[in-house]
Structure 1
Amino acid sequence: MNDDIRATELRCNVDGGEPLGIVSLDEAMDKANELGLDLVLIAPDAKPPVAKIMDYGKYRYQEERKLKEQRKNQVKIDIKEIKLSVKIAENDISYKVKHAREFLEQGKHVKFRVFLRGREMANPQAAKDVLLRIWPMVEDIGVMDKSPKFEGRYYNMYVLPKK
């Protein structure tokens, strides 16, 4: 911007006004100084480069406000992870499913994760069976986002709350 621009000729526009056309860098700087504004390079790769005469401080302020507004309107998704094992008892499953149902009712995403230890890696189907036993217990309030999938030493299943 301003004195850092190295191009000799620019296609120049005035913020909120008519385009000046292709002018030399000196003419564009003189016009910007006359208006009390900054000369900002918009498209340096164009032939000829495009510059705009504008209030750069005001422009930066407006961009920061836009970003802040976007961040404020974002929805943060909470993912709750429930860890299980292949050799889990029925009462433990019901206890963990009870917590998963609470999370889903609060609108949180739930990730069921079965960890395979040692020789359990030889039979990963057992972990998938545990997840498929859990699914009927939560399907009335949840939607399966990702079906049981084998990843490393884990079998994972994602459940989202129903709308």
Structure 2
Amino acid sequence: MRTQLFRAYIEKAIGHRMEESELVYLTGDEAAEALLTLTGRFAKNIAQIRSIPYNSSFEKEADAIIESEVLRNTDWSAASAEAWRVLLERLSQALMVAQLNQFHQKPLIPIPEDLPADAWTSAAMIFLMYDMKLPFPLTDKSDFSFPMRTVPGSLTRQ
């Protein structure tokens, strides 16, 4: 299902079949930067979300939220608190996967070269968070906070 959703989203974003474009790869850093844009969604209620125990029975709801966003441009406002917790765990683990791939200098997410940069977040969300089998053990998130976004080197004064 993830592959079908990924293809549907990408083809909607570029306006043609993926095979008509050359594939390039997002690096771990590029994927992490794209995913970090999602952290603002959690900011207002992070204390409540991180206090909820992870419950795998809400994984399908989390997938439905991601699918609805990328295909119909809906937001996450109708999500249950438990689905928010699943999304938080997936996001934190997806960020770890991205950074590990970057550390090992492995390409991460195949995308068409003509996929606009503003579509990278949704592409990364589908590729790493949709139908995610958690690669790391669950941890207590009661004191979890997202890393602060830093200014990319290309934007800093030399």
Q: Give the alignment's TM-score, normalised by structure 1.
A: 0.21
Structure with bigger gyration radius: 1
Tell me: higher relative CO, structure 1 or 2? Use CA pairs within 8 A at least 6 residues apart: 2
More helix by share: 2
Q: Give the alignment's TM-score, normalised by structure 2.
A: 0.21
